[in-house]
Amino acid sequence: MYKNLRENIIELKRLTGNSADFTIRTFRLNNIMKSECAVFTTEGMCNKETLAISVINPILHCEYNEKIGKELFKYIFDYVLSASEILVVNSFEEVLSFSMSGFAVLAVDGCSKMLAIGVQGFSFRSVSEPESEVVQRGSREGFTEALRINMTLIRRRMKSPNLVFDSLSVGTTSNTQVALCYIKGKATESSVDEIRNRLNSCDLKTLLGSGYLVPYLEDSGKNEVFTGVGITERPDTLCGKLLEGRIGILIDGTPSVLIIPHLFVENFQSVDDYSNRPYFASIIRLLKYFSYLLSVFVPGIYIAFVKFHTDYFPEQLYKNIEKSISDTPLPLILEILMIDFLYEIMREAGLRLPKALGHAVSIVGALVIGDCAVSAGIIGAPSLISVAIAAICSYVVPDLYPQITVLRLTFIVVGGVLGVWGIVLSSTIIIIFMCSKSTLGVAYMSPLSPFSGKSMRDVFVRMGWKRLSQYTANVQKLKGGSMYEK
C-alpha cells in the first residue's frame, strides 16, 4: 500500500469498481491540519453506532501533539481506539476482505499500514430449532447462517481450552470464511492437517453451501452413493462428535456444519436416543434399521417374486396380484417405476412449495391421483402399496434419503431383470464397496467392519450411560485402517 492516503483511496475505488456499498469517510484531526485520516466500511456489514463510539469519536476528540505518519498511526493504535478487536493490515486484499467482513479499516496519511477494527453489525437469522433434525427431548437451538454465532453456540457447550477454531478462506471469488473445529488431544493432528490442506487446495470460485466442499473432503474424490462426510444443524450433535475425535467444518453463510469422518451407523442415531431410556432407544434404533431395509428392498423384491418366484405366494394372494397385473396396461417393472417417479415428483413439489400448498399437494397426490389411478386400472393396488411402504419407511432415516432413493431404483430394475438372485448379487457388491470405503483412514462401516465388540454397545442397541461412560472416545489405529472406539 502507499503512504499517501489519496493514492490509497484511488486504488481502493478502482479495485471495488467504485461500488455503491463501499463507503469512505475522510476527516482531519482537530489540532493537526496536515494529517488526514479515512475509515473504509461496507454498507450494512458494520454497526454504525459501534463505529461512532469506538472509532470516530475517540479519534476526533483526542490530543495528538503534532504527531504525524507512523508515529500518529502507532499512537492511535495504542492509546485512542477502544474496540476490543484491532488488527494491522498490510495489503489492499486484506483491506477489502476485512471491510467486507464487517470491519472498519482506518488509514492514516503518511503510513503504509492500516488498522482493521471489529465493529461487525450485519443482520442475521436468530437462533431457532432446526427443522431437519427435530427432537422431542433436547436443545431447541440450531445453527444459523452467521459463522461467529455458530462458534458461540459450540463454545457455550464446550468450555474447554482444548476446543480450537482454525479460520481460513475458501473460494477465489467469494472468499468465504471457513472454520475448522476440533478438540486438541481428541482429533489427531494428521487428520486436522490433511483437512486443512484439502481446503487450501480447493479450486472453487464461490462457496455458497456446505455441499460444495464434500467432494474435496472425500478420500477418493469420486461421486459415490455413500459419503464419509456427515452434516448437522444441531450444536449438541456436533459437540458429541467432537468428543469422539471428529472434526467440524463451519461455513459462513450456511447453518449446515460438516462432520468428518462420518460412519454409516451414525445415520441411525439421534439425540433422542441418548435422552430416552436404553430399552426404548434400542427398540427405536432397531426399528430404524428395519425401516431402512424395507425402504430399499420392498419394491424390488415384490417385482422379483411376482415375475420369477410365484411359487412362494399363497394361492389366493397370487390370484389377486395376477388379476391386478392383468387389468393394468403396463408391464410390472414400468408400473413400479412410474409410481416411484410420481411419488418423487409429488415429494419434490410438496417440499419446494410453501407449507400450506405443500400439504395440499400431498393430499391430492395420495388420495386423488393414487385412488383414481387404481380405480381406472392404470396401476395395480399391490404395486402402489409396495411403493407406499417403501416411501413411508424412507422418512424414518432422513439422513439416508438420497441413498435410499438411488438404491431403491437400482433394485427395482435389477429385480425386474434378474430376480431375487440379482438383488442378492447387487447387495453383495454394494456392501463390498461400503466396507472398502474410508475417510481419513477411518473405515466407513466401523465398528461392523472391521468388527469391534466394545463399540457394538452403541450400534444396534444402546447401553446405559454408566456402561457407555466407562470408555473414553478415542481413535484406535488398526492395521490397514482405523476406527472410532466409543
Q: Quote helix, strand, coil % in the chain, to nearest 5.
A: 50, 15, 35
Give the CA count within 13 Å in the CB-facing half-sphere of 401.
12
Backbone angles phi, psi at 485, to 5 degrees: -110, 115
pLDDT tens digit sequence for 406-423: 999 999 999 999 999 999
Residue 363: the pLDDT is 61
CA-closest candidate to residue 114, choices 85, 74, 82: 74
Closest CA to 282 of 460, 466, 464: 460
Give me the pLDDT at residue 480, please.
33
Q: Would you state the cell numbers that stand for residue 222, as one nine-digit string?
A: 469420486
pLDDT for residue 472: 44
C-beta atoms surrounding 472 within 10 Å: 10
pTM tops 0.75 = yes
Spell out, as residue ranges, where the chain has pLDDT lower than 50. 472-486
Q: Residue 475 has what pLDDT?
A: 36
Residue 390: predicted pLDDT: 93
Give 278-312 pLDDT, tens digit per residue. 889 899 999 999 999 999 999 999 999 998 888 88
| pLDDT given at position 372 | 77
Rounded Cα distance, 58 and 230, in Å: 47
Distance (Å, whole) CA 87 – CA 90: 10
Please give the grid coordinates belonging to residue 77. 493504535
Hey, what's the cell of 411? 433394485
Which residues, at least 6 apart from 146, have a Cβ–Cβ distance to it below 8 Å? 122, 124, 125, 252
DSSP letters spanning 289-312: HHHHHHHHHHHHHHHHHHHH-GGG
Q: What backbone torsions phi and psi does residue 40 show, to the nearest 5 degrees?
A: -105, 130
Q: In what order do the strands lie in the sheet with 230-232?
A: 163-170, 176-183, 247-251, 257-260, 230-232
Q: What's residue 47's pLDDT?
A: 87
Question: What does the pLDDT read at residue 473?
Answer: 39
pLDDT of the residue at 486: 39
Structure confidence at residue 67 (pLDDT):
78
What is the model's pLDDT at position 359? 62
Which residues are within 8 A (CB) of 170 and not within 5 positions of it... i.e. 6 or more apart?
A: 176, 178, 199, 202, 204, 207, 213, 251
What's residue 356's pLDDT? 62
- Which residues 6+ apart lie within 8 Å of 459 measured at CB? 265, 447, 448
